[in-house]
Amino acid sequence: MDSRAQAITDMTLVDLVSAVKARHISPVEVVAAVLRRIEAWQPRVNAFITVCAEAAVAKARVLEQQLMRGGAHGALFGAPVAVKDIVYTRGVRTTMGSRWYEDFIPDDDAAVVERIRAAGGIVIGKVNTHELAYGPTGDCSWFGPARNPHDPARMTGGSSSGSAAAVAAGLCHAAVGTDTGGSIRIPSALCGVVGMKPTFGRVSTYGVHPLAPSLDHVGPLTQSVLDNAVFLSVLAGYDRRDGQSARRPPEDFTRGVGRPVAGWRVGLPEGEWFECLHPDVAGAVDRVVRILQDLGARAVPVALPPLAEMVWALDVVQRAEVFDRYESVLAARGSDLHPEVRARMEQSAHPRGYEYVRAKRMQEVFTAAVEEVFAAVDVLLMPAVAVPAQPLGAREVELCGERRPLVATLLLRTRPFNLTGHPALAQPCGWTADGLPVAVQWVGPRFGEARLYQVAHAVEQALPQHGRRLPSCLDLPTP
Q: What are phi and psi of 94, to 5 degrees?
A: -130, 105
- Estimate the crossing angle of helix 27-45 against helix 3-10, to 10 degrees: 80
Q: Which of 234, 230, 231 is nearest to 250 (CA)?
A: 234
Residues in the chain: 479
What's the alpha-carbon Rg for the chain, to the nearest Å?
Answer: 21
Candidates 26, 59, 84, 348; catalytic one: 84
d(CA 101, CA 397): 32
Candidates 26, 159, 224, 245; catalytic one: 159
**14-19: long-range pairs with CB below 8 Å, 24+:** 14/224, 14/226, 14/227, 14/230, 16/78, 16/79, 16/173, 17/75, 17/76, 17/77, 17/78, 17/79, 17/120
Known catalytic residue at 159: yes
The amino acid sitting at 112 is: V
Known catalytic residue at 360: no
Known catalytic residue at 163: no
d(CA 371, CA 71): 43
SS3 category, 160: coil
Candidates 183, 188, 204, 245; catalytic one: 183
User: Would you say 143 and 428 are in contact if contact means Cβ atoms under 8 Å apart?
Assistant: no
Check residue 171 and report its DSSP letter.
S
The amino acid sitting at 475 is: D
Q: Which of 202, 176, 181 is nearest to 109 (CA)?
A: 176
CB count within 10 Å of CB 276 equals 15
Q: Which of 238, 241, 288 is nearest to 266 (CA)?
A: 288
Q: Which of 319, 315, 312, 321 is nearest to 348 (CA)?
A: 319
| Residue numbers annotated as active site | 84, 159, 183
